[in-house]
Structures are given as structure tokens and as C-alpha cells.
Chain A
Amino acid sequence: MTAVEALNITHRYGRVTAIDDISFNVNEGELFGFIGPDGAGKTTLFRIAATLFIPAGGRMTLFGLNTVSRYRELRNHIGYMPGRFSLYQNLTVEENLNFYATIFGTTIKENYHLIEPIYKRIEPFRKRQAGRLSGGMKQKLALSCALIHKPRILILDEPTTGVDAVSRTEFWEMLARLKSEGITIIVSTPYMDEAPRCDRIALIQNGKLLDIDTPGNIRQSCSHRIFAVRHQKKYELLLALKSVPGVLSREPFGDAMHVSLHPDTTLEQLVRELEAKGLAGVTATEIVPGIEDIFLELMKREA
């Protein structure tokens, strides 16, 4: 069954188009990720899904209920975590959770099994005010609060932004567990490396979807071979790559340049050309393209 159905969604702020004719489906029980840089339109899209925005065009349904006309019924089934953790800073961990439980007409006890694995981690600090928690703990508390009424769908807007690496990994493990409970999850992130954690991902840029598929398929969709080229003089390397024939793209990635080559150009030719330009000792190895490589390629194609 389809959990989320979005058809030609468009949204504008004044003259700026934030969402440009987006359509997608999310299946029930699916962990669906929106991946894209800041300003791509993720938050706007999520607010439309959370019944907070009326889109300028198109329509969206969650479980067959329209987000505009049936918002009141829907609000019982949505667990929403906005981009900034919406906690009451001067209420304690326990008071925050209790408050959200009560306004959704439930109790902590009733759905404790659902939040237990998450909440257990912050329970020792339950008397601490939320404003004094670390980023990772705030994130866990916010997730607990969004979950406490046993929603059918979780809408998580950049839940891992501003959280340390360990907490990020833990967080994705929690999402996997919630998915196994049958909860549909849509989640957004600017971190490309989190993409493989999702069942399917949508790449979003400038309010448009570049692609929707499983992370594996998206990786294979890369039409070129990608090579990691390394040399100490990174700037000279970048300049040299610009003038090598057959180089389709070059993007700096950490200590290497990711280079895609025209099918007629070989690795040996590339290395030779670079050495001829005075970059002795340059190394180049073929790599499996990552989501980020694909993203950049799709972005170029779009432009």
C-alpha cells in the first residue's frame, strides 16, 4: 500500500519557487530518504507532508488522506520532528515527553515499548532540562517525543544535522528498528553518506527531484567510470585536469579528485597526460561511484 503519494507538488515563497513540480510515492513501511544540499526544498516539502503548508499546486495524500482537506484526521497519525529539535528548553526530559504524550491523548506507559530502546539512553538524565542536553541526546528526546503517540508515519527533517558521528550511526540503527515495527519513515539529510541506510532515496536539488531509486540502483546508474586521482599539489592537479582531453568532470573529494572519463580515454592516457604537465608521481585508481558522485553528475546533467 502507498503511504505517501505526492503529485505535481509546487510551492512558492513570493516569487521564489521552492518546490517545482515534484511527484513521488512512498510505500508503507518504507524508509525513504530525501538527499540534497541546504536550500534544496527539503524542509518545505516536509512541511507540506506534515499538513503545515498548503502547496501552491499539486496534491499530497498520506494513507489516502489529503494533507490539505483531511489534515485534522491526519494529525493523529503523524510523528513530526522539525529541523531544529522542538523541545521546551526549560522543561526536563521527562516533562517534555509527558507533555507530548498527553497532548496526543496517550501516556508514556502505553507506548513505552516503542520508545524504550531510544529513551533508555537518555533516561538517566530525565530530570535534566532539555536545554542542557547534548545534541545527540536532544535528538533522541525529540525522536521519542515524535514517537510517543505511535504514529503511522514519521516525518524527520534533517534529524542528524548538528549531531556527532556516533549519535548519527545510532540514530540510523534506531530508524531501522522502527521500520521493522511497520512505521513508515521519510527522512531528509544533507549527508550523502547516509543514503545507503534508506530503502529508497530521492535526490533533490533546487526544488526538483533529480532521481528516485534504491541507493544501489542509483550508484549503478552512473554512466561513466570514476577515478580517484591524487597528487600533493592539489591546485596544480585541478588546473592540469581542466586541460586534459577526455576528462568529463573533476570534483575535489577530501584528499583526491574524482574524475570521470570519456569511454575512449584510458587510465594510462590520463596519467601520461598529467605527468607530461609536470605532475610526476600522480596516482589514479578506479573507484565505485558514491551517491555524491552521482549527485554531482545529475546536477550537471540538469543544468
Chain B
Amino acid sequence: MKRFMAFVKKEFLHIFRDYRTLIILFGIPAAQILIFGYAVRTDLKNASIAVLDNAHDDVSNDLTLKLEASDFFTISNHLSSYDEIDATFKQGKIKAVVIFPEKMASALTREGSATVGIIADGSEPNTASLVTGYTTGILNDYSSALTQQLTASLPVINPEVRMYFNPNLESHFMFVPGVITLILILISALMTSVAIVREKEFGTMEVLLVSPLRPWQIIIGKVAPYFFLSLVNVIVILLMAWYVFGLPVRGSIALLIAECMLYILLGLSIGILVSASVDKMENAIFISFMALMLPSLLLSGFIFPIENMPKIYDYVSMVLPPRWFVEIIRAIMIKGAGFAYIWKETLILLIMTLFFIGLSAGKFKIRLGEGGK
């Protein structure tokens, strides 16, 4: 036990003295949360738009106010003629122009309809479709309210849409589980494989092997600190998600932590397997990145829904741990689901963990090598 603790202590000293390790451990999670939280947005917040009001009547004023009042838009320009539209777009500050026609209010009352023009900046297709979607939503709200006022007697079907679990369709709900999934695989697999391979590369593994330490003691001593730090990271990410974005954990926190521990264990066993297979740190980094990070990012369903992919990717993603973990963590955090709903995914992760531990236990050597026979 004393030997083991000495080992763990040594490992912590390595971690805290190497600023690169520290950056990966604590800088990247924080950066990812902030980047995904603020920069990569799939919802709209305070997009600049311009209004060209040719009507200047009650209706156009009402609508302008409603646009401004929503959190989605900020009206940065009030244009006075069509000629200004092109120039304003070229300045690149606004995402769309909303054009109210002349005599809009009277057209509405007399003809029962009016047309509002929306010109969106098509050079950013995602933002453009979001902007038009939200603008249309506001216009629809207004016109249905108007319809009900004017023609209360006519039967109208009003769809009432509600986004279950995520009423405002906020993207934090997507990315926080995704970031946790990514960070855990990064720290547990990448960092441990590099830490073990470093001992090989610097020749210290030779001395450790000649010591009375058993191989499993060496391995557990190396990975224990990363297990602990990964857990700290989960908690930091959850706290950041809560304080910065107001994202709660709806399900059981204990269950969430337990599932995270399982996933960390899985990552560590992959890391050990990688470290047993390579002798150079570059190779460990390369394998961890190519084999773990990229698939986690692309095929876990965290950014791109798996349902929309060709079937073959669906099958490929099934062997990737992140796919199952993203489902688990989403279920617990956002849906508030209990263990009964995620036992299948948990079982899959458990089987994967045992598989990798078994595989790496067989690969880890008590020696440097054997004379070719």
C-alpha cells in the first residue's frame, strides 16, 4: 500500500509539474465548455437585423417592438429605402432585413392579408434559416392573435408546439453531455496512454519492471490519478454548466457519477491497451486522437444525429463507447431518467470495459521482450 501511494504521489507530481498536462486536464474542458457554449450555437441569441418600415402604422410598429423585445434579435439599423439594403448587408453586421409594406394596417383590415418581406444573409445558411424561422414565428404569433381578435367566431386550428425536455431548444442541452463524453475519453484514454508510454520512452519502465512492483501495481498506480482527475473534471463541467448556462441535472446525480465512473474506467482500459501496443508517445497520441477523439466527435450522435446518417455509420458507431455514453448521460441529465431506462447502454459499456481490461492484461508484459524463436 505504501508503495502504491508513493507511486500515486509521484504521478501527481508529474501532472502538476508539467504545464502541458495541466492545460489538457483543466484548460481544455473549460475552453470546450465556453467554446461550445458561446461560439458554437444552434439557437439564436441577439442576432442583428435591420428593419425597413415602409408603413409606419400601428401594425408595423407593433411588429418592430415584438422583434426587438424578443431575445433572438437586436434591431441595429432602421433603413429608409430599398437602396440601403445591399450596402447594409455588405457591411456584414446584420443577418436579415425585415421589410414592412406600405399601408400595412389598412391592407390587413381591408384585404385580410399583408406580405412582410424577409431578406436573410444566405452566405451563412444555418443562421439564415434560423433567422427566418424565428422571424416567421414572431409574425405567425402576431397574426394568429390578430385573427382571434377579429374573427373570434370562425373555427381556427392553432397548433401548440412544445419541446419536451428542452422547451426553448437550447443547444447547451446538446453540448454539455457531448463535452463530458469527449473530455472523459480524452483524459482517460489519451492521458493515461501517454503517461505510460512516457515511462517506456524515457527508460524508467525498465527500472520499474526490475523492481519488486507487480505490473498491475504499476498500471493501477499510473491510472489512479487520472481516474480521480477525470471525476473532478466531470464535477467541474457540471458546475460550469449549471452556473454559466443554468443547465440542471434532472436525474439522480449519484447515478450520473456512477455512470461517469464506468465510462472513465472504460477510457482508462483503452488507454492501457494503447500504451501496451506502442512504444512512442507520438503514436499513443495519434492513435488516441484518430481512433477515439474524432469518432467520438462525429459518430457519437453528439453533434450529428445518427439517425440521419447512412446505415453503415450507424453500425460503426455501435462499437464506439461514446455513442452509448451520450445516450446515458442525456437520459439522466435532461430527461431525468432512472437506471431502468439506461441499463442496456450501461451493460454495453460494462462489457466493453471488461473486454478491454482483459485484452490489455494479456498484452502488458512483465518483461521488455523475448529472444526471437
User: Interface residues, chain A, CB within 8 Å of chain B?
Assistant: 10-15, 19, 47, 50-57, 71-72, 75-76, 78, 80, 82-91, 95, 98-100, 102-105, 129, 145-146
Contacts and interface: CB of A to CB of B under 8 A. Distances in A.
Contact of B372 (A56, A87, A89): A56
A100 B212 CA distance: 11
Nearest to A84: B203
A62 to B, nearest CB: 12
Contact of A11 (B204, B212, B367, B371): B371
B12 to A, nearest CB: 11
B10 interface: yes
A231 B175 CA distance: 81
A78 B6 contact: no
Given A75-B212, A86-B207, A102-B2, A53 B18 contact: no
Nearest to A12: B372
B202 interface: yes
B211 A103 contact: yes
Nearest to B17: A90
Contacts of A102: 2-3, 6
Given A75-B210, A99-B6, A56 B14 contact: no
Interface in B339-373: 366-373
Contact of A89 (B202, B208, B213, B367): B202
A55 B371 contact: yes
Across the A-B interface, the 3 shortest Cβ-Cβ residue pairs: A56-B371, A102-B6, A11-B371
Contacts of B57: none
A60 to B, nearest CB: 12
B209 interface: yes
Interface of B: 2-3, 6-7, 10, 13-14, 17-18, 202-204, 206-213, 366-373
A100 B207 contact: yes
Nearest to A89: B202
Contacts of A104: 211-212
Contacts of B2: 102, 105
A95 to B, nearest CB: 7
Given A91-B14, A103-B213, 7 more contacts: A52-B209, A72-B212, A86-B202, A88-B14, A88-B204, A98-B6, A103-B7
A103 B208 contact: yes
A51 B366 CA distance: 9
A146 B207 CA distance: 9
A6 to B, nearest CB: 14
Nearest to A142: B207
A86 to B, nearest CB: 4
Contacts of B204: 86-88
A56 to B, nearest CB: 3
A88 B10 contact: yes
Contact of A14 (B3, B202, B209, B372): B372
12 contacts: A11-B371, A13-B372, A52-B367, A53-B368, A57-B371, A71-B366, A80-B210, A82-B206, A88-B204, A91-B17, A95-B13, A103-B212
B204 to A, nearest CB: 5
A103 B215 CA distance: 12
A104 B7 CA distance: 11
Most buried by A among B14, B210, B369: B210
A95 B9 CA distance: 10
Contact of B367 (A54, A105, A146): A54
Contacts of B210: 50-52, 75, 78, 80
Nearest to A79: B210
Contacts of A11: 371
A76 B370 CA distance: 21
B14 A53 contact: no
B10 A91 contact: yes
Contact of B371 (A54, A75, A146): A54
B206 A86 contact: yes
A105 B212 contact: yes
Given A52-B367, A53-B370, A90-B18, A95 B10 contact: yes
Contacts of B202: 84, 86, 88-89
A63 to B, nearest CB: 15
Contacts of B370: 53-54, 56
Nearest to B18: A90
Contacts of A103: 3, 6-7, 208, 211-213
A121 B367 CA distance: 33
A59 to B, nearest CB: 12
A82 B203 contact: yes
Nearest to B2: A102
Contact of B373 (A47, A56, A84, A95): A56
Contacts of A83: 203
Contacts of A13: 371-372
A9 B373 CA distance: 13
A7 to B, nearest CB: 15
A90 B367 contact: no
B357 to A, nearest CB: 23
A162 B202 CA distance: 16
Contacts of B367: 51-54, 71
A76 B212 contact: yes
Contact of A99 (B10, B17, B368): B10
Contact of A53 (B6, B7, B212, B371): B371
Contacts of B372: 12-15, 56
A90 B371 CA distance: 34
Contacts of A86: 202-204, 206-207
A84 B183 CA distance: 35
